[in-house]
Chain A
Amino acid sequence: MNSISRRKFLKITGFSVGAAATVSALSPIINGSEKINKVKVKGIQKIPTYCDICFWKCGAIAYLKDGQLWKVEGHPNDPLSKGRLCPRGTGGVGAHYDPDRLRSPLIRTRERGEEKWKEVTWNEALDYIATKMNKIKTSYGPESVAFFSHGIGGNFLKHTLKAFGVNNISAPSYAQCRGPRDVGFELTFGDGVGSPERTDIENAKCLVLIGSHLGENMHNSQVQEFANAVQNDSTIIVVDPRFSVAASKAKYYLPIKPGTDIALLLAWMNVIVKEKLYDVDYVKKYGFGFEQFAAEISPFTAEWAYTETGIDVELIKTTARVMAMNKPATLIHPGRHVTWYGDDAQRSRAIALLNALLGSWGRKGGFFFPSSYSIPAYPYPEYPTTKKEKVDNPDNKYPFAIEEITTGIREATITGNPYPIKGWFVYATNLLHALPNEEETIRAIQNLDLMVVVDVIPSEIAGWADVVLPESVYLERYDDLHASSFKETFVGIRQPVVESPADQKPNWWIAKKLAGKLGLGNYYPWEHVEEYLDHRLKAAGLSLDQLKKEGIIRGEKQPLYIEDGIEPEFATPSGKIEFYSLQLSNAGFDPVPKYTKPEEPPAGYFRLLFGRSPVHSFSRTQSNRILMDMMNENEVWVNSDIANRYGLSNGMYVKLKNQDGVVSNKIKIKVTERIRTDCVYMVHGFGHNSKMLKGAYGKGASDAQLITKYKTDPIMGGTGMNVNFVTFELEV
């Protein structure tokens, strides 16, 4: 049996605590919104809420000027934002004013994907959906409806669908993003790194970033801590084929050949073990299988790694020693978007092992023990028990998967195995940009009897829906309570600041109404979401009124490190940190990570890499006019030697063609010294083809379009996407 419990919906890490004596740090001018601001109040009003431009959920304060939404600032009492939002959060008002927003429910009138609609009432739309859902239930069972959801906003819809009997529920954040990391760490420490991550960046004396481009990737708390680490003269080591912004802050930059990170990690561990630089006591006390591990890595010297990675032998050795010198306050950051090459769980495990060698798990400047504010769940009736297994991972094909695999559900939708999937609900995730291989996604959609998209903007995936439901943006709605596991315990509220401009509705309302149509009204014992929130808060000794006023309520400080007296527990089969993993070897995998050479690009082709911009989130912010003004198209980064060879100059437009002959939208060339010659890079999220996205349509290119190939991680089902190669088409 795997010690990782599959289908673990809620991982409870560390401690849960109750209310502490809370002090309101806010001035009394902050008033909770009564109903929404119907009466236009003169002057300035401040209403606390939390951000939704990404999933980080920073505490925020929205400002109204004479009843009009003006600006959003960070909530000073929020442990995540510490009073400062990231650029996307600061530009959040643009989501409310976005002229391309969905305005009313739509039902498709022509073929799927043609984007031809009629506007309908909510009643018509929900009736249509309920009828189709019931048909699917009768013919195939409720399990044949699947739900793809991203973010906290999906909670209520998930509740309705579970009540209906839906069990295939998934988010791209697992198999297309952080899944391999969480699995690699669970296999090693018996626990994941969580979200927000339990990384103690600001206290790290040595911080190692492997492909993580903090600063371009704007996870607010992490970037704030990163800046503190820079200020504190922490030694920063950056490993990246591209000279990222983070690389410019680094003492050591390792311009690694893409796909060879495991070789580097093995060599680092080799140096640290051979030179006995690891935390001997820690490894002895908490480690399992160290001797076998040491034997396994002994052939992988820095000299060997040089030939794979292209990183100088001395640089490998020096950085290994620097890491060891600073232990245990050396943090080898686990990254977040880590679905790169299909052996990502093993790479993540190598990162976990390197951290384990240096004793950083549970130590200051390494990985702290997070805790969360304890708020009991709402006492809903039990969900019906589903008779069928989930479809995403039949016969436990990916034995160490810990969440549902989106691409597994897609596969089942295409093949009808292990049973047909006939309905898709998609909430706030643009699957056409998030999943690899668009064509497979479209093929799956063509097999559906019902496809519903709930979103705020007409994303590409909405273009393929039968019914599109327009949701209110976060500044216009309540959502579930926010009580993430983090350095400090807290609970935050999202509450409406302004009215929706048209017929958009909050997710809780949509979910409750749909439940009513499905005859599941008993699953909603409350009339208005305020009752739900108040009920939960009262059970935690708080109240809705109080939270609406304060926005954030903090709990008591909790111990964070082993140094504080925490005795770490490891939920692995051995109960220890598994340097050597018997559960992996029993399942036919390498018990210690091994390196496999990446495929070389065909002649004239370059590996396609993609990443983040600080002013956009995924493919959901490109029509926000404020953020568009910051960046309204992406560029393809090309090394200047390559540009010379191909006659490419800065600012010229090209199309990219991948190994399978798929051609992208046109994209601007950025000639730069900041990238290797064997790869090109672009920011993810651009290249919109949805005609309803008037502002973003045709601006830049989409990496997703070019990711026709992907390599599935055999351990956990993640889809490695950095395995595509592109060349330039000059005629545009």
Chain B
Amino acid sequence: MARFGMVIDTKKCVGCMDCVVACKTENNVPEGYNRDWIVTAANGKFPDIHLEIQTQRCNHCDYTPCVSCCPTGASHVEDFGKIVLVEHNKCIGCKACLAACPYDARFIHPDGYADKCTFCIHRVEKGELPACVSVCPTHCMYFGDLDDPNSEVSKLLASRKNHSLIPEAGTLPRIYYLT
């Protein structure tokens, strides 16, 4: 069974937020909330600046504090692609998972449940790419099976310098940034 992950080429990303907009329309994310977002970090002194732009979201970690802390079992890991999901009906909105997530990836939906990126499982199941990946005008995002050494994502990780976010949290995140 696949273990899905994302590889994002920060060299190409321009931070245009198309991924954020696409997620919003694809998943009807309510006004005022986003499941993904852009972080821009500038380092250095003018004019010698290094800029890294990252599109961020739930990292669909291999080790999931957001699942282990869930009192109802709403927060869970799907068999399909090891995608981390929240079952809305089971969720009581206690916010334990919001606190447990080192990436601040979750929020309470106005309807009362914890919400976050689903890797667009409804699309991926049909063989499509997540909305954010499919829309990116710079083609800087890649999605695929990290366990398959022949997948595009695995090949990119093998051939390019990369890092993940807050690895010290120990959650084994599955989103990688090529630098």
Contact = CB atoms under 8 A, between A and B. Distances in A.
B15 A215 contact: yes
B21 A626 contact: yes
Contacts of A253: 47
A434 interface: no
Interface string A244-274: 0111110001010000000000000000000
Contact of B137 (A223, A230, A626, A673): A223
B60 to A, nearest CB: 23
A630 B49 contact: no
B22 interface: yes
Interface string A224-246: 10110011000000000001011
Contacts of B42: 243, 672-674
Given A70-B25, A231-B12, A615-B17, A224 B32 contact: no
B50 A90 contact: no
Contacts of B47: 243, 253, 255
Contacts of B20: 87, 630
Given A215-B15, A614-B16, A625-B31, A673 B49 contact: yes
A87 B50 contact: no
B32 A639 contact: no
Nearest to A86: B137
B140 interface: yes
A220 B137 contact: yes
A88 to B, nearest CB: 8
A428 B26 CA distance: 28
Contacts of A218: 16, 137
A596 B42 CA distance: 34
A87 B140 contact: no
Contact of A245 (B31, B51, B135): B51
Residue among B134, B135, B137 having the largest count of chain A Cβ atoms under 10 Å: B137
A676 B50 CA distance: 16
A703 B49 CA distance: 26
Nearest to A229: B12
Nearest to A88: B21
A72 B131 CA distance: 11
Range for the number of chain B residues in contact with chain A: 20 to 34
A68 to B, nearest CB: 10
A73 interface: yes
A74 B139 CA distance: 13
Contacts of A216: 14, 16
B45 interface: yes
Residue among B31, B50, B138 having the largest count of chain A Cβ atoms under 10 Å: B138
A70 B140 CA distance: 25
B44 interface: yes
Contacts of A215: 14-16, 138
A327 interface: no
Contacts of B139: 224, 227
A91 interface: yes
Given A227-B140, A626-B25, A673 B14 contact: no
Contact of A84 (B9, B45, B135): B135
B137 A224 contact: yes
Contact of A673 (B21, B25, B26, B46): B46
A241 B111 CA distance: 46
11 contacts: A84-B136, A93-B25, A223-B14, A224-B138, A230-B12, A243-B42, A245-B51, A614-B14, A614-B18, A629-B34, A672-B42
- Smallest CB-CB A-B distances: 4 pairs: A215-B14, A227-B138, A248-B51, A614-B16
Given A87-B17, A216-B14, A227-B140, 5 more contacts: A86-B18, A87-B20, A90-B135, A224-B139, A673-B42
